[in-house]
Amino acid sequence: MGATEGPAQAAGFPPEVEALVHPTGVQNGVMRADPDACTSCGRCIQNCPYTCWEMGEDQVPKMRPERTCFSCFNCMVACEAGAISIVQPYEVRGGGYFDTDFPPIRWPLAPLDAAGNPSEWTGTERLIIERRSVRNLKQDPVPEPLIRRILEAGRFAPSGGNNQPWKFAVVTDSAFIAELEATIQAVWAGDHFALEDDAVAASLVGVLPNEVFDPRVRQGLRSTALKELPVFLNAPCVTFIGGNTKMALPVIEAGICGQNMNLAACALGLGFTWSNFGAVGVERVPELKAKLGFDSTWTVLAALCIGYPSFKQEGAVPRHYRPVTWFRPGAAGPEIEE
């Protein structure tokens, strides 16, 4: 389960193309199921967005080395037995294009009160820390009164100049969700199979945004193309946020709005996952965008998949801890806290 290095310059592409088509220094995440604690329930397998796990012959899940584990740790939070541990987080080293100076991961720091004494998380902080993307959803409909509360959480988000540059479309009609799923899945499958061909991939460098070549995105495309990761996660409710193109920074404002909605959904006991594959996919199919009620003054910026979780998928996980630069009164200069 070592680093996934690209074949060294095999295709003879220019270095800036090679760097994207065959990213170097990528170390996939590695997780381990403890055979003594594992109950073989399979939740880790079920809760991995990229199907990185499979059941071993000994009925203990093991990782599939060909898959890109990007260290969301959703396998860990779904394991009631506490059998899953981290061997190695996803990171990229060696100065390749996707080496973004990966910092170490750390668990949430213990909360302290204003005087620096041990304290408790507030309910809001606990919700933020224990929120995880929930991709295993029941088919039960989300009651409309609750959808309206989620929309209200979005409507009361802050925005620059109070410009409120958002507009929502809520889809609970399963036939329409199925149409969205089929159409958009086909779009991404086309991209995936095109990118599988190195020559085609190389020809698309500079045409597609560079981030499409990030191994984590490529695995997302692969999983979507293979129908292992549904675009809308089989959610009974999909809500889209449009951002008005005439206003400043609708992307950040739709993000704030959507995160308000995410937390409100969690507080109401609902599961929630953002879907870029859904939002960007709608943007690529003008008929669907129009059908959802967004004309050219709107960009579909977010798709939110909402439903009741079919099992426990929340809990704290470690995250990157990038050094923070502090400027404190009386200090000789900035202090960098590792």
* Contact string 188-227 vs ligand FMN (x = CB under 6 A): ----------------------------------------
Cα Rg of the chain, angstroms: 21
| Residue placing its CB nearer to ligand FMN in the complex, 76 or 202 | 76
Strand partners, 101: none
Minimum Å distance from CB 59 to ligand FMN?
Answer: 26
* Most distant CA pair in the chain, distance: 64
Q: Is residue 281 part of the contact set for ligand FMN (CB under 6 A)?
A: no
Around 325, how many Cα atoms within 13 Å sit in the side-chain half-sphere? 2
- Nearest to 163, CA basis, from 100, 237, 87, 253: 253
CA 192 – CA 170 distance, rounded (Å)? 28
Minimum Å distance from CB 162 to ligand FMN?
Answer: 23
Q: Which stretch binds ligand FMN (CB under 6 A): 81-89, 90-98, 269-277, 326-334?
A: 269-277
Around 255, how many Cα atoms within 13 Å sit in the side-chain half-sphere? 6
CA 245 – CA 166 distance, rounded (Å)? 10
Q: How many residues bind ligand FMN (CB under 6 A)?
A: 12
For residue 3, give both structure tokens: 């680093």
| Residue placing its CB nearer to ligand FMN in the complex, 169 or 301 | 301
Q: Give the residue, chosen from 13, 53, 97, 277, that forms a contact with ligand FMN under the rule CB under 6 A.
A: 277
Q: Which stretch binds ligand FMN (CB under 6 A): 28-36, 55-63, 98-106, 272-280?
A: 272-280
Q: Give the residue, chosen from 239, 244, 260, 275, that forms a contact with ligand FMN under the rule CB under 6 A.
A: 275
| Residue placing its CB nearer to ligand FMN in the complex, 19 or 52 | 52
Q: Is residue 74 part of the contact set for ligand FMN (CB under 6 A)?
A: yes
Minimum Å distance from CB 268 to ligand FMN?
Answer: 17
For residue 96, give both structure tokens: 């390749």
Minimum Å distance from CB 318 to ligand FMN?
Answer: 11
Q: 33 and 43 in contact (C-beta within 8 Å)?
A: no
Q: Is residue 232 part of the contact set for ligand FMN (CB under 6 A)?
A: no
Residues 85-144 that bind ligand FMN (CB under 6 A): 132-133, 135
Question: In this structure, what are the phi and psi dihedrals at residue 301, rounded to the nearest 5 degrees?
Answer: -105, -20
| Residue placing its CB nearer to ligand FMN in the complex, 137 or 169 | 137
Minimum Å distance from CB 335 to ligand FMN?
Answer: 29
Question: In this structure, what are the phi and psi dihedrals at residue 136, rounded to the nearest 5 degrees?
Answer: -105, 105
Other beta carbons less than 10 A from residue 319's beta carbon = 15
With 0-12 / 13-18 / 19 or more C-beta atoms within 10 angstroms meaning exposed / middle / buried, residue 96 is: middle
User: Which residues would be at the binding site for ligand FMN (CB under 6 A)?
Assistant: 49, 72, 74, 132-133, 135, 229, 273-277
